[in-house]
Amino acid sequence: MKESFKRLVRASLLTVGVLTISANTAYAKEEISKFEIVQEENKYIDVNQAIKEDQVQARLMEMPIAEELRILEAYELTIGEEFIGNFEDSQEVIQEIRDMVEKLLYDNQLDYDLIPEIRLEKKSVLKDEITDIKDLRYKVLYQEKIEETTKIDQDIKIDDFISKYSIDKDEFIKLNELEEKSEILKKDMEVKVYEFTPKILVRQIEEKSHVKKIAFKTRKVKTDKLYIGESKVSQEGISGREKINTKYIYENGDLAKKYVESKEILRKKQDKIILIGNKERPKGMATNSFIKPTVGRYTSLFEYRWGSFHTGVDIANGMGTSIVASDGGRVIAAGWNSYGLGNHVKIDHGNGYVTLYGHMVGVDVKVGDRVDQGEHIGRMGSTGFSTGPHVHFEVIKDGVKLNPLNFIK
């Protein structure tokens, strides 16, 4: 009789409204979600009359009506198509869901969507069909509960530790067989926790933009307008700029996917172009640069010494060491110099520059010869006013003697 009565009451209960839970994506900061209440038209059946009739019948049969047969107004919770349970307080359900969603968010500043749809439907149900709100989080909102062991890396309060997991304090203490008043987990303790797979999916989309530098390339182009060994920058390089818009999709706080949604060129790159000489250089033509005329060490510099100014640099090495033209040009002096330089050579480079080489033991060019940069012109010696084998080297520009070390590579 009792079961038939329950079936009768269940058949008489009505749906009086539907509460659909959906994420209001513009409201993620202040509240996890807002809810839209969709009221259905009431369909009235005199449930009380039906109960009264059965109460009369029960009295006649001397069968008292059990407490669990009382009818209550409740909210049926479904996730997608799955029935979850009936709950007396819709706000408690909403708060539980809100708390869970908070833990699944990647960034509470971002909008989000809940998948699948969560619905609360207002109904009248029997008291024994009510689900305890305490069971909602651990038995309902998660598909699977996996026990795992983790090691504590530093002393931490239990409340702070379990906030990262979907487990309440009492359950955690019981699972790990801790004392009821325990508050601190010590470093290197191994504890058991539960990891859950949520039944709902909290999806957030984040869009980021950044500007990427596009490096320019350097291209070398041969030209007959320049001599071999010469080069010239005909176009400076300019880096480009590109704006890249990337979309990141987070599911339950973890990055599930990212992709480049669009690209925009803010500035085109411009390659650097260097012209490389491809034309044969005439014999003795200056390169407009100077090289060290011999191998050796500097023994005197462009400076005052012994009461007078030394107008060049001295480079010393063994007797007979080869001396070369510091740059291409025409020999304008070759032979003995009566002013203390001994055997010497002077080269006019045709660009206002003249170089001088003194104290040679042998001169191997003559006046009028055209020599290329690096070409042998004589041998190191100690002729003239000299205390040992070396070459005295000068650089002269429009008649003014300059410091050779400002020119030699």
User: In this structure, are residues 114 and 202 in contact, taking their beta carbons and an 8 Å threshold?
Assistant: yes
pLDDT of 46: 41
pLDDT of 60: 44
Tens-digit pLDDT profile for residues 174-211 = 888 888 788 888 888 888 877 667 778 889 999 999 99
Tens-digit pLDDT profile for residues 361-380 = 999 999 999 999 999 999 99
Tens-digit pLDDT profile for residues 220-264 = 999 999 988 889 999 999 999 999 999 999 988 889 999 999 999
Examine domains 207-279 and 297-406 and report if their fold is the same. Answer: no
Tens-digit pLDDT profile for residues 150-177 = 888 888 888 888 777 656 788 788 888 8
User: What is the pLDDT averaged over residues 277-303?
Assistant: 93
Confidence band, pLDDT 50/70/90 cuts, at residue 3: low
Residue whose structure tokens are 């003995």: 336
User: What is the pLDDT averaged over residues 83-98?
Assistant: 89
* Among 167, 174, 179, 96, CA closest to 132: 96
Going from N- to C-terminal start, the domains of the chain cover 2-141, 144-197, 207-279, 297-406
pLDDT of 338: 84
For the domain spanning 207-279, the CATH number is 2.20.230.10
Confidence band, pLDDT 50/70/90 cuts, at residue 71: confident
* Among 196, 226, 359, CA closest to 287: 226
Token couple for 225: 């307008």
Instruction: Using the predicted structure, report yes or no on whether residue 391 has a pLDDT greater than 90.
Output: yes
User: In this structure, are residues 294 and 323 in contact, taking their beta carbons and an 8 Å threshold?
Assistant: yes
Cα–Cα dist 203/211, whole Å:
27
Confidence band, pLDDT 50/70/90 cuts, at residue 33: very low
**DSSP symbols for 90-156:** HHHHHHHHHHHHHHH-S-TTS--EEES-EEEEEEEEEGGGBPPTHHIIIIISEEEEEEEEEE--S-E
The CATH class for the domain spanning 297-406 reads: mainly beta
User: In this structure, are residues 71 and 126 in contact, taking their beta carbons and an 8 Å threshold?
Assistant: yes
Q: pLDDT above 70 covers what percent of the chain?
A: 79
Query: Model pTM?
Result: 0.49
